[in-house]
Amino acid sequence: MLKKTIEVKNVTKKIRKRIILQDVSFDVYEGDICGFVGPNGAGKTTLIRIMTNLISSTSGEVKIGGVNVKEDRKLALSKLGAIVEEAIFFPYMTGRQNLRNLAMLNLNMSKKEQREKVEEVLKIVDLYDRGDDKVKTYSLGMKQRLGIAQTLLNNPKIVILDEPSNGLDPIGMRDLRKLILKLRKEQNITFFISSHLLDELNKMCNRFIAINKGKVIWQGSKEELMKKTGESLKLEDAFINLVSGY
């Protein structure tokens, strides 16, 4: 039996009188790399903010690792690493110092374990050699990888990334993709990744959820997506058809 790691049930969000999300439901399973696609303004970031309990839904519920984020926020979030919109660092500190500051917040680890964890995640994201450079000297791709290092500090089982490839060049995107695939393989981390670039997601995701105007318009496996689009059709065109046909 596949284990559900993220459960989103009938989530609706209204801001003032506007409906931003309407009755959104889906499950993500252990080991999935789940792509969350939708055009600008579809509601991706809003849903991710609800999933990470930065804002609350108007109705509906989200469970992370079986734990309701509203009822037991601390336990639910302890299983999770997330970057919402962009990771925040102190630019005048080094990558290593930024990670150490955050690692210090993890009271379940001794000082020694915290330091070791920082070195471990720097190696995983391939920033070990640049760890003593100030973050302001990092390229965008390096900052994205440092953001992922940050999410790994508390050994999450689930990582949520909001538009991680935004602004990256093809090599930056490839490096990020390789890193995500490596973490999925070696640490069995489940990923939930939003993007408006379906072709990019298709290179790493096994499942997709598509939203538009606050509603889920399609969800399924990569195979189902391929069947729907036909092998020959460019995914980006399929995406436009999906969104505009709605």
* Contact status: 166 vs Mg ion (CB under 5 A): no
Is 239 exposed, middle or buried, given 0-12, 13-18 or 19+ CB atoms closer than 10 A?
buried
Cβ of residue 49: shortest distance to ligand ATP, in angstroms?
Answer: 8
* Contact status: 198 vs ligand ATP (CB under 6 A): no
List the one residue from 2, 40, 92, 244 that touches ligand ATP (CB under 6 A): 40
Cβ of residue 39: shortest distance to Mg ion, in angstroms?
Answer: 10
Residue nearest to Mg ion (CB): 45
* Contact status: 42 vs ligand ATP (CB under 6 A): yes
Candidates 11-19, 39-47, 92-100, 201-209: pick the segment binding Mg ion (CB under 5 A).
39-47
* Contact status: 52 vs ligand ATP (CB under 6 A): no
- Residue 42 or 80: the one with the smaller Cβ distance to ligand ATP is 42
Q: Is 169 in contact with 139 (CB distance < 8 Å)?
A: no
Q: Is 140 in contact with 176 (CB distance < 8 Å)?
A: no
Show the site string, 5-34: x = touches ligand ATP by CB under 6 A, - = not: ----------x----x--------------
CA atoms within 13 A on the CB side of 161: 30
